[in-house]
Structure formats: structure tokens, C-alpha cells
Amino acid sequence: MNNMNIDFSKWGWKENPFVLKIDPKLFVGYNEQVKAVLDHIKNKHKIALITGKTGAGKSTFLKWLEANYDASKLYVSKPPKKPEDFVNLFTDIFGFSIWERILRKKPSLYTLPEYINKKLKENHLVFLVDEAHETNKEVLEWLRVLTDQIDNVSLVIAGMPNLEQKIKSELETFDQRIITRISLTSLDKNEVKQLVRKRIEDVGGEGIKPFTEGAIEKIYERTGGFPREVLKFCDRLVKSALEKNLDVIDEKLIEEHKEIELPKVRLEEPVVTFMPKPPTEEQFRNLPFKQKIILELLSKKDWLTPRAIVEELELKNYKSKEHAIRSVNNILKRLMLEGYVQREARGKAYMYALTPKVKTLFVES
């Protein structure tokens, strides 16, 4: 059914609220992720990585940042493939001084950092790069060099979940510079309701009407809170209610849409991994014994689960192995908050490794 020919006026709507458009003012939820990225930028950290499956809201998230963060910002919907397009991104916003024009001084890929530094002076630039999973190693390398050589830049790059793996396996230098890792998973029930309400009110409607509370609940269950699926499902329901001449969208109508049956589970992924300031050598020397031996083990073997650590260290003095694992788990969490270790979800368990900075402490000592 074409949106143009449908009359949404019976609910006071001037158009269909559930079109798949990206509009930063319709952004809801993802509070923890928003906080993490804002902290990242405020602290002028260099690289943040945002991953999420298609439709999770990566572009919306970046556009929201672009609209709401008060600093110089540059959003690109896709990383450019040619060096000259890459350079143009910056010359388009910063332009040229008369002097530069007279000398025809257009920066090359290699003089670009110098050019940007000169333009930025004390200002901070937030560089937002979308769809980074499509880019190749070379382009990621340009981005890395750029963030290394510009004093005042935070790079926030977003892509599908495979991007993280790709970076890890192909570009360790880039991987080690990622300070904040954020994953966009899905919205909770309350956020789904907010999403529906915001969209309805934006087209002139009232609250969640014609949806009932029960309907929202069912929509959440069926879509798993996955934003694009929520929109698609609501769109179907609205059109079906109009066809049937119903004033209200309730659970009963949803029951009729058996064809949409998504898994009810929420995705289990770490939402935010943050690497705070790395500890100094002295702080490191003063750590309690247990923390130290765990770090020493991790300096020899990367990416271990708490269970593997207990097994390797043959920890005694615990009532049972499960007790030991729980205790190691708590120690690791503390070490993570203090910037010693980083973690990743692998299936149900977390695996831990030293942060790059702490690794160098071990190499030096």
C-alpha cells in the first residue's frame, strides 16, 4: 500500500508516523550508550567504536550526536574510498585562507593533519563516520593516522558487528586505540513505548493512540525491541487497522498478524566497554597480590575467561571452584573499571585481556 493514498486523519495524523526515516529528534533510549559516547567526547578521547546489527539505530545515534553535541562536528554517511574525497571532506568544511588559495595549497593525504590542526586551533572536532564496515584496511589506516596526528579530534565510527572483528584481525594498531566500545542492541519496553509516542506526536497525534498499552507490550515481545522492526510492525498494524476500519489497535489485532514472529530474546552483548585512564606504574606495583597474579597471567595469555584463570592459577583457599570463579570475576570487574583489563563477550562468557597500556608495563618491567 502506498503511503500517499492513505488517509491517516482519523487519528489526527498528517502523515504516516512509522516511515523508516532517520530523524534525530525522534531518538529515544540507549541511555547508557549515549552517556558513554558523551563521556568519550568530553574527555577528548580519540577513538570510539559503535557496533550494531542492521536497523539497531547506528545512523540515528550518530545523527543524534551530530545534532546535539555542541562542538565542530563532521558526519559522513560512508567512509570515502579515494584519498582525494577523504581530503575534500575536510577542505569542504574548513575552506582555504587567501594565502592558501594564492599558493594553491590543497592538502594531500599526507599534509591533511597539518592542515586540519591549523584550522582547528583550540577547537575540538568530533568526526562521525557511519557504515565503516564497508571500508577497507587502507581507509581505516588513514583514519588512524589522522586521529593520531590531529591533537583535538574524537573519532566515532559505526558499523555492523563484523567491523569489530575485522579491525581486530586486520589492524591491530587501530584496535589498540579504541577507547570506548559501544554496542547498540535493542530498546526496552518502556523505550519502545516512547518511540511510538514520539513518532505519533510528531505527526500531530495524541500519545500512543490508537495503540493500547497491551498492544505496546505485544509489539515489544514480537520485535524484541529492535527499532527498525518496531517501526515496520507498527506500520503494518496501522494499515491493517485502517483497512478494517478499527479505531483501536489492541492485542487482538496483533494476534491476527501471526506472520511476524521474531525471537523474543534480547541480544546479550556488552553494551558499553570503556577503557578509563590507564594506571601508573606505581599504582600497579601497589596492587593487592591476587590482582597482580591475575594480571601477570593475562600478560602471558590473552583473552581468558574467569574459569580459565581459576584453572590456570590453581587458586586454593576457596570453598569450591564456583566460589573461586565468582571471586575472580569480581576482581576482573574491578580491574576493568580501573583500566587494567578489557573484556569481550564470547557467547555467554566474558573473556579478559590486558589493556594495551598495561601490556606495555609488563614488557618494560
Ligand X SMILES: Nc1ncnc2c1ncn2[C@@H]1O[C@H](COP(=O)(O)OP(=O)(O)OP(=O)(O)O)[C@@H](O)[C@H]1O
Burial degree of 284 (CB within 10 A; 0-12, 13-18, 19+): middle
Residue 113 contacts which entry, ligand X, Mg ion, none (Cβ below 5-8 A, type-dependent): none
- Position closest to ligand X via CB: 57
Task: Please report how close the Cβ of residue 126 comes to Mg ion at its closest, in angstroms.
Answer: 18
Task: Please report how close the Cβ of residue 340 comes to ligand X at its closest, in angstroms.
Answer: 32
Alpha-carbon gap, residue 178 to 344, rounded angstroms: 13
Per-residue x/- marks for ligand X, 60-89, CB under 6 A? x-----------------------------
Residue 56 contacts which entry, Mg ion, ligand X, none (Cβ below 5-8 A, type-dependent): ligand X
Task: List Cβ<8 Å contacts ≥24 apart for 282-285.
Answer: 284/340, 284/358, 284/361
Retrieve residue 65's grid coordinates.
550526536
Residue 227 contacts which entry, Mg ion, ligand X, none (Cβ below 5-8 A, type-dependent): ligand X
Q: Where are the beta strands (DSSP E) in the chain?
A: 47-52, 72-76, 125-129, 153-159, 178-184, 272-274, 341-346, 349-354
Applying CB under 6 A, does 5 fall inside the site for ligand X? no
Among 6, 15, 16, 22, binds ligand X (CB under 6 A): 22
How is residue 249 annotated by DSSP? Answer: B
The SS3 assignment for 51 reads strand
> Side chain identity at 350, as an amino acid letter?
Y
Applying CB under 6 A, does 219 fall inside the site for ligand X? no
Q: Which stretch binds ligand X (CB under 6 A): 19-27, 94-102, 203-211, 316-324?
A: 19-27
Among 52, 224, 225, 306, binds ligand X (CB under 6 A): 52
- Compute the C-alpha angle 217/219/223, nearest 5°: 125
Q: Which stretch binds ligand X (CB under 6 A): 47-55, 305-313, 334-342, 354-362?
A: 47-55
Residue 308 contacts which entry, ligand X, Mg ion, none (Cβ below 5-8 A, type-dependent): none
Alpha-carbon gap, residue 101 to 317, rounded angstroms: 73
Q: Which of residues 22-61 bind Mg ion (CB under 5 A)?
A: 58-59
Q: Which of residues 283-312 bind Mg ion (CB under 5 A)?
A: none
Whether the upstream peptide bond of residue 356 has omega within 30° of 0, thus cis, is no
Applying CB under 6 A, does 203 fall inside the site for ligand X? no
Applying CB under 6 A, does 227 fall inside the site for ligand X? yes
Among 17, 47, 49, 55, binds ligand X (CB under 6 A): 55
Per-residue x/- marks for Mg ion, 138-177, CB under 5 A? ----------------------------------------
195: left (phi over 0), alpha (psi -120 to 50) or beta: alpha
If you count DSSP H runs as helices and E runs as strands, how many of each does the chain have, helices first?
17, 8
Binding site for ligand X (CB under 6 A): 20-22, 26-30, 52, 54-60, 195, 227-228, 231
